[in-house]
Amino acid sequence: MPTEPVAESPLATALSQLRTAVDYLGLSESEWATLSTPRRILEVAVPLRRDDERVEMFKGYRVQYSTTRGPSKGGVRFHPDIDLDETIALAMLMTWKCALTNLPYGGAKGGVAVDSGTLSLRENERLTRRYTSEILPIIGPERDIPAPDVGTDERNMAWMMDTYSVNAGYSVPGVVTGKPIVLGGSLGRNSATGDGVAIAAREALKARNIPIEGARVAIQGFGKVGYWAAKAVEKMGMKVVAITDVSGGATGFATIDELWEGIKEHGTLANIPGLERITNEELLHFECDVLIPAALADSLTGKSALGVRAKVIVEGANAPTTPAGDDILNDKGILVVPDILANSGGVIVSYFEWVQDNQDYFWTADEVAERLNKMMMRAVTEVHELADGKGISWRTAAHALGVGRVAEAHKLRGLYP
Ligand code: GLU
């Protein structure tokens, strides 16, 4: 049985996935060296004046992993546990994700090691603006385009856009994506990651000849990704049977709207009366057709993957499965739709938003949904065909496609000087 390497971490996971893709593609050690090295790392101190006048210092990061295929792109995370290694790993994943989906971008990620839940609205604004001004020299619509991620949302993007624009002296909506609609945001961006997760789930069920109507879905995480994924799979005819969030978990609800109303009334998922409680572990091991990990990294490990009973896993979160967990899921014959494919809907609609901002011409919700479906379907089909044709996992196929495109772009651009 595979055992967990000692230094398990999102960066170790990302590097091991890259190694598999590089070996599969038969790339040279020089290409490995190029592909496994982040291009630009910025670590900043972010001072925050709290509402009570105390000043606290937080660590902030922006990692531009690659700019070979275009400006770097990726979210900004506000979470107490983030560090440089995790930010590098997530920036690396963004690079392969953008290449896999054929977006003209490299990959980036950023964040501040802070618990956003402890910030008042004004503290959140001050922290966001100061972080933005610290990374200002390296971002821009043609350089690096941030977006929301765990712990940030469209309000943070509005403040980032405003801070950048005030410094530039004119409005620059294309500097960030995931903005409010009135500031140049795109219709459909809020729900895009979840909508894409649902498309990936639908296609994975088809690949396994499991009927979509009535397929049982368990979801870990009820935030920006989990909530919209739940709504979207329900619309497709699937049935969400269990959900967990940071407060706890529940099963025995009828619809997502009913659950959402319950949360609004009782504060948290765990407080809704009349539902059967489940733990996070019970959720991961729930008897279902589709399991959607949509929380943080390292959920499915060499230990927790052993009890998984789902037929298909669709990775809404980034890096939710460790290499040891992945080996176990593959051995069990479970189809895993990897993060860089499953959650690519978010950055795809971010790309649409950037295109609309750059052209000052905005699309309808139907146009966004139709183009999202088309781009996801192209990526899903490519991954499915490569995986079946070569007898490899969907993860290896997805990484091979993404990494292969970046390697090809490196080769064509050549080395300066
Ligand atoms: N944070 C999202 C992701 O991990 C979206 C990034 C973006 O839109 O740039 O894919």
Read off the pLDDT of each residue in 28-43 and give the average, rounded to a whole number: 98
Q: Which CATH architecture has domain 192-342?
A: 3-Layer(aba) Sandwich (3.40)
Q: At residue 349, does pLDDT exceed 90?
A: yes
The arithmetic mean of pLDDT across residues 300-329, rounded, is 97
Domain 38-172 and domain 192-342, same fold? Reply is yes
Give the Å distance between the CA of 282 and the centre of ligand 1: 29
Average pLDDT of every residue of the chain: 96
CB 240 within 8 A of CB 233: yes
Q: In this structure, which residue's CA is closest to atom 9 in ligand 1?
A: 74
2 preceded by cis ω (within 30°)? no
pLDDT tier at 8 (50, 70, 90 boundaries)? confident
pLDDT value at 121 more than 80: yes
| The predicted structure's pLDDT at residue 222 | 95
The answer to whether the beta carbons of residues 259 and 253 sit under 8 Å apart is yes
Report the separation in Å between the CA atom of 98 and the middle of ligand 1, taken as the mean of its atom positions: 10
Instruction: Report d(CA 106, CA 143) in Å as an integer.
Output: 10
pLDDT at 2 exceeding the cut of 90: no
347 Cβ closer than 6 Å to some ligand 1 atom = yes
CATH number assigned to the domain covering 38-172: 3.40.50.10860
Q: Which residue's C-alpha comes closest to atom 8 of ligand 1?
A: 347
The alpha carbon of 8 and the centre of ligand 1 are apart by a number of angstroms equal to 23
- Sorted by where each begins, the domain ranges of the chain are 38-172, 192-342
Above 50 in pLDDT, residue 7?
A: no
Any atom of ligand 1 within 6 Å of the Cβ of 383: no
Three-state DSSP class for 236? coil
Q: Which atom of ligand 1 is nearest to the CA of 177?
A: 8
Amino acid identity at 235: K
Q: How confident is the model at residue 318 (pLDDT cuts 50, 70, 90)?
A: very high
| Pairing verdict, β 72-78 and 144-148 | parallel
The one-letter code for the residue type at 343 is N
Handedness of CA 264, 296, 100, 240 (dihedral sign): negative
What's the mean pLDDT in 264-293?
A: 95
Is pLDDT of 60 > 80? yes
Burial 47-65 (b: 16+ CB within 10 A, else e): ebeeeeeeeeebebbbbbb
Helix intervals (H) in 208-295: 224-235, 256-266, 280-284
Confidence of residue 95 (pLDDT cuts 50, 70, 90): very high
pLDDT, tens only, 222-251: 999 999 999 999 999 999 999 999 989 999
Q: Which atom of ligand 1 is nearest to the CA of 73?
A: 9
Rounded to an integer, what is the distance from CA 12 to the centroid of its chain?
Answer: 18
Q: What are phi and psi of 61, to 5 degrees?
A: -140, 150
Q: Is any atom of ligand 1 closer than 6 Å to the C-beta of 318?
A: yes
Question: Which three-class secondary structure state does DSSP give residue 293?
Answer: strand
For the ranges 96-100, 244-248, 395-399, the lowest mean pLDDT is seen at 244-248
User: N- to C-terminal Cα distance for the chain?
Assistant: 48
pTM of the model: 0.97
Mutational pocket test of ligand 1: of 78, 92, 149, 152, the residue with most ligand atoms within 8 Å of the beta carbon: 149
Q: What separation in Å is there between the alpha carbon of 353 and the centre of ligand 1?
A: 12
Pocket of ligand 1 contains residue 75 by CB under 6 Å: yes
User: In terms of pLDDT, which residue wins out, 342 or 7?
Assistant: 342
Of 200, 273, 151, 207, the closest CA to residue 217 belongs to: 200
Report the separation in Å between the CA atom of 196 and the middle of ligand 1, taken as the mean of its atom positions: 12
Our answer on whether the CB atom of 103 is closer than 6 Å to any ligand 1 atom is no
Please state, in angstroms and rounded to a whole number, the distance separating the CA atoms of residues 210 and 190: 29
Question: Does 109 participate in catalysis according to the annotation?
Answer: yes
For residue range 158-216, list pLDDT tens digits in order. Answer: 999 999 999 999 999 999 999 999 999 999 999 999 999 999 999 999 999 999 999 99
E strand or H helix that includes residue 247? none
Helices (H) then strands (E): counts for the chain = 14, 12
Strands 239-245 and 72-78: unpaired
- Cβ–ligand 1 distance for 147 under 6 Å, the answer yes
Catalytic residue, candidates 97, 109, 224, 231:
109
Q: Ligand 1 in contact with 177 (CB < 6 A)? A: yes
CA distances from 193 to 182, 255, 414 (A): 21, 20, 34
Residue type, 209: N
Q: According to the model, what pLDDT value does residue 6 have?
A: 44
Average pLDDT over residues 100-117: 98
Phi first, then psi: give them for residue 150, nearest 5 degrees.
-55, 125
149 lines ligand 1 (CB under 6 A): yes
Which region holds residue 300: left if phi is over 0, alpha if psi is between -120 and 50, else beta?
beta
